[in-house]
Structure 1
Amino acid sequence: MKTDFRKTMDVYRARTGTFQVVDVPPMQYLAIDGQGDPDTSQAFSDAIQTLYPVGYRLKFASKQQLDRDYVVMPLEAQWWADDMAAFTSRRNKAAWRWTVLMMVPDWITRQMFDAAVATVAHGHPPAALAQLRLETLTEGRCVQTLHIGPFDDEAEVLQRMHDEFIPDAGLQMTGKHHEIYLSDLRRVEPAKLRTILRQPVGSA
């Protein structure tokens, strides 16, 4: 059996036009940090091109060593800025900071991660391999929704989430904006991109 966490975990489901409050359990990720406009940043491209070979190496190791197969998870990212209006009213992408993520199962050990990185390092290692880390992210209570369409059309949805739904629900933002890219960015036209927008929250 091959596990697909997008189907087995409720936090990988969301509906468009609806803001949902969800409790996200601690999860383990491959992670790389950076800053700048994702449309033009070489560092952002390097980070993505580093996650996938290590992610697939871990999948193969899990199947071969543990007899536990799973579907490689979609790309995710955390986003933040000194002024969060950079994501809504101004969309100042040069001010954005980010952590590119890929979820891996909790049975993936530090030893398996180190071995996967060492294997990928042979030959032509991806540019950001030295920056890659394995970490556990604990987000807890979050508000999330599904956005369908180009990334640049997210601003209105985020403004409603940040300025209307969250305060009206007696909550406040407590962590970094998180996006989960359910669509293959290389194959899906912008108008059909499916992205979960997630914001950690706490009591106001």
Structure 2
Amino acid sequence: MTPKIDLKTEIDAYRAPRDRFRIVDVPDLTYLMIDGSGDPNTSPVFASAVAALYPLAYALKFASKRELDRDYVVMPLEGLWWADDMDAFTTSRDKSRWDWTLLMVVPPWIDDDAVARARDAVGRRSPPERLDEVRLESLCERRCVQTLHVGSFDSEGPLLQRMHEEFLPAHGLRLAGRHHEIYLSDARRVAPGKRRTILRQPVR
């Protein structure tokens, strides 16, 4: 059996310093994705998106191990976030105005056929409500600025404000994509004050 792969340890962009900013070049990666909008704390759409991603991600992992002898660690949940007015992230934190795409990285050998087979397998058991909405798609971010935030999601605002209003202008950079968060901690099991989240911003 080949060794289990953990892409978090193999991809440099999954490392970030706490409360300090780092410029990284993110490789093109393939993700499971599902879209939605509204406050993630209260929206049933958000909860149903999470409920659709995880069973499919694990079905893909088990099928890869069983059929290809290629085992890997399921990657953490991630999110792309945006709003018509980006102050909704850094200042007002008005989550009702947020749009989002939840995503999870999959290894490069996972293709549309593998996703279709995994979707069928999950569907035969107890299909999540939004299972058919999950898609396989590549994301090209390239140059990004990122940092590690430790604490509750609601306390991210000042750090993001420093990134947008101090670090980026000081380095001649500008926003060039959607705010990206990588949830290294499982929010269902880790207290808010101890959650570890990579905050990533594509720049040019």
TM-score, normalised via structure 1 length: 0.97
- Secondary structure at the counterpart of residue 62 of structure 2: helix
Look up the match of 1:79.
Answer: 81
Per-residue CA deviations over 1:53-107 (Å, capped at 9, x if unaligned) read 0000000111111111000010000000000000011111000000000110011
Letter aligned with residue 191 of structure 2: E
Look up the match of 1:167.
Answer: 169
Superposition pairs for residues 50-61 of structure 1, below 5 Å?
50-61=52-63
Look up the match of 2:102.
Answer: 100
- Secondary structure at the counterpart of residue 100 of structure 1: strand
How many residues get paired? 202
Look up the match of 1:91.
Answer: 93
Superposition pairs for residues 181-200 of structure 1, below 5 Å?
181-200=183-202
Look up the match of 1:111.
Answer: 113
Query: Cα RMSD (Å) of the superposition?
Result: 0.7
Pairwise CA distance, 1:162: 0.7
Per-residue CA deviations over 1:151-196 (Å, capped at 9, x if unaligned) read 0000000000011101111010000000000001111100100000
Letter aligned with residue 75 of structure 2: M
- What percent of counterpart residues are identical? 58
> Is the aligned partner of 1:6 residue 2:8?
yes
Look up the match of 1:158.
Answer: 160
Letter aligned with residue 61 of structure 2: K
Look up the match of 1:43.
Answer: 45
Distance 2:106 2:195 in 1: 23
Pairwise CA distance, 1:124: 2.2
- Secondary structure at the counterpart of residue 120 of structure 2: helix
Look up the match of 2:147.
Answer: 145
Distance 2:149 2:175 in 1: 19
Pairwise CA distance, 1:133: 0.4
Pairwise CA distance, 1:5: 1.1
Look up the match of 2:27.
Answer: 25
Q: Is there any run of 5+ residues in structure 1 with no aligned partner, and where?
A: none
- Secondary structure at the counterpart of residue 71 of structure 1: coil
Q: Is there any run of 5+ residues in structure 2 with no aligned partner, and where?
A: none
- Secondary structure at the counterpart of residue 47 of structure 1: helix
Look up the match of 1:121.
Answer: 123
Pairwise CA distance, 1:123: 3.4
Distance 2:149 2:130 in 1: 29
Look up the match of 1:178.
Answer: 180
